[in-house]
Amino acid sequence: MAPDYPKKGAGTGARKRTTPRTEFLQAVEAFMKVPFPERSDDEDADRLHADLLLHDSAVGDAVMAIINGEPVPADELRPDQDLRQRLEELAASDAAGAADANTYLDYLNGLDQLLELARQAKGKKKKR
Contact in structure between 119 and 105 (CB atoms under 8 Å):
no
Q: What is the mean pLDDT of residues 4-12?
A: 51
Q: Which residue has the higher pLDDT, 42 or 2?
A: 42
Write out pLDDT tens, residues 35-78: 999 999 999 999 999 999 999 999 999 999 999 999 999 999 99
Q: What is the mean pLDDT of residues 82-103?
A: 98
| Domain residue extents for the chain | 40-121
* CA–CA separation, 107 and 90 (whole Å): 15
Estimate the crossing angle of helix 20-31 against helix 98-121, to 10 degrees: 150
Position 4 pLDDT exceeds 80? no
Contact in structure between 107 and 59 (CB atoms under 8 Å):
no
CA distances from 10 to 39, 93, 94, 110 (A): 34, 37, 39, 18
> How high is the pLDDT of residue 115?
96
* CA–CA separation, 42 and 128 (whole Å): 51
Contact in structure between 105 and 87 (CB atoms under 8 Å):
yes
Looking at the chain, the whole-number percentage of residues with pLDDT higher than 70 is 83
Q: Which residue has the higher pLDDT, 36 or 122?
A: 36
* CA–CA separation, 66 and 118 (whole Å): 7
